[in-house]
Chains A and B, each alone.
Chain A
Amino acid sequence: MKESLALSEDQRDCLQEVVNVAMGQAGDSLARFLEVFINLSVPRIRLVARDELNRELEAMVGGPSTRVSGVTQGFYQMDNGRGIRGEAIVVFTDSSFKELADLLAYDGEVGADAEKELLLDVTNILNGACLHGIGVQMEAELGFSPPTILGQHVRVSGLLENQKVNWDHALLVEISYTLEDRSFSCTMFLLMPGESIVVVKAALDRLLEEL
């Protein structure tokens, strides 16, 4: 199973390039929207097994006991019912939300509710901008479900605890965003399970042929 899902070197390079371009566009929109400069990491792409996912998340945020807030948002290909499908999870560590609230023009104090809204907004902006860019390049029109909070200020090891998982392997794309001169950073994980990987691979092959 895993062999058939694994990306070839060409496919991986191609996806890396697609994500790079999308991130750039997303970063640009975001920077204009928030009026701050945004630093982006080089995206990391790999195939993960179900039981590795938690460890991957833990490693990326600095250990299982790191406190995080996480939001997930589903995305799907609107012009093809069997097309790309997945979830974009954004994980926020050590977040100073006050600054972000200021950037996003929130009125008043950042209470628990405002913090939730901020998490949802930032997730939606990041996902919308980045996935839109990926979709355009892969010639897939993507739709989104509303974002949902997985947990606030919980140990990262517990973030996905209660989530039902019905896939064996998923394609994981990891992107980190930081705002220049601001103590805010977050990491976005695009997860595309099972069948979706096959679709992505086919789309990458088409792109490669065009080159």
Chain B
Amino acid sequence: MSDFAASHGLLEFIVDRINVGVFIVDQNLEVKLWNKFMAANSGVNEQQVVGKKLFDCFPDLPQRWFAKKVSSVFMLKSFAFTSWEQRPYLFPFRHNRPVTGGMEFMCQDLTLMPIKGEDGEVEKVCIVLFDVTDTAIYRSMHQAAMKKLEMVSRVDGLTQLFNRSHWQSRLSEEFSRAGRYQAPLTLIMFDLDHFKSVNDTHGHLGGDAVLVQVAELIRSALRDSDIAGRYGGEEFGIILPSTPMDGAKVVAERLRASIESSPVPFEKIQIPVTASLGIAQFDAGIKDVEEFIAHADAALYDAKERGRNRVVIHERA
């Protein structure tokens, strides 16, 4: 400001009218300055608040938190900052995106600046309050988009079950958990019978309709903790954490029966569907996930051999 020496009045005007909140408190949290932005948003004007304790005028503020922040500036003689990401707002102000914002109150970032006297001690603290509602809105849009992306990368588009890679990583997690805690864990692998002829007879749309309905039946047969995925074309896998063989048998048999009794409506006809299921149970002798899957697959193969539309349990050799 060497060429243009701003007058005291001009600076006062700027502080008062600038579109950010500016207020000053002393060590007792008594308000010394309160600009227009603060007055307009709080509905409490300068005359009503200057010379009074901040918490007397605004009893609903997070007092302990804010007092500690201010006292840190007095003690450490340096700036302090707060972010909307941790505490969305200090004052419950309305914001300027009431229609499209989706946020209840104005999101606020605060900067607390020490005002020092000639002796170098902090006499007052100036608080600058920024409206960061727009930033917060963009952030939440970004997060929603990321969440959707994450979903897309985990889920099989046709059946809305987990895709193979996500399902396998879940199986790995459950496999190592079962090893650590000696908790029971069972795995069902199953395959639709004669699916190739469904495709040949009714076309791929018919095949797709079958897969979609089977996925729906899987979802209704499962409990919350069970994890189902589409393993291959017409092959599915279900992980049953904390479930011993008896429980897995019940789930598998229920699923088999519901698939058999629910022919898939497609272009005015009903396509009959059955499935063959293999179950394997975790034990400490299984060396890795691949071996675990191979056990369930072997039982599934057995089920096919024995005439399909049935549940077979893998027996250890």
Contact = CB atoms under 8 A, between A and B. Distances in A.
Interface of A: 29-30, 32-33, 104-107, 113-114, 116-117, 120-121, 124-125, 128-129, 131-132, 143-144, 146-147
Interface stretch (B48-56, B68-76, B200-208): B68-76
B72 A120 contact: no
- Range, interface on chain B: 10 to 19
Contacts of A121: 72, 80
B42 interface: no
Contact of A124 (B65, B68, B80): B80
Given A33-B72, A113-B86, A124 B79 contact: yes
B85 A33 contact: no
Interface of B: 62, 64-65, 68, 72, 75-83, 85-87, 109, 111
Q: Is the interface of B mostly helix, strand, loop or mixed?
A: mixed
A105 B65 CA distance: 7
Contacts of B109: 146
A32 B75 CA distance: 8
Contacts of B111: 146
Give the residue among A129, A131, A143 with the most B Cβ atoms within 10 A.
A129
A125 B72 contact: yes
B81 A124 contact: yes
Given A114-B86, A146-B83, A146-B109, A128 B68 contact: no
A128 B81 CA distance: 11
B264 to A, nearest CB: 45
A124 B86 CA distance: 14
Contacts of B80: 121, 124-125, 128
Contacts of A32: 75
Contacts of B87: 113, 117
26 contacts: A30-B76, A32-B75, A105-B68, A107-B64, A113-B85, A113-B86, A113-B87, A116-B86, A117-B87, A120-B81, A121-B72, A124-B81, A125-B72, A125-B76, A125-B80, A128-B78, A128-B79, A129-B76, A129-B78, A131-B78, A132-B76, A144-B78, A144-B79, A144-B81, A146-B109, A147-B81
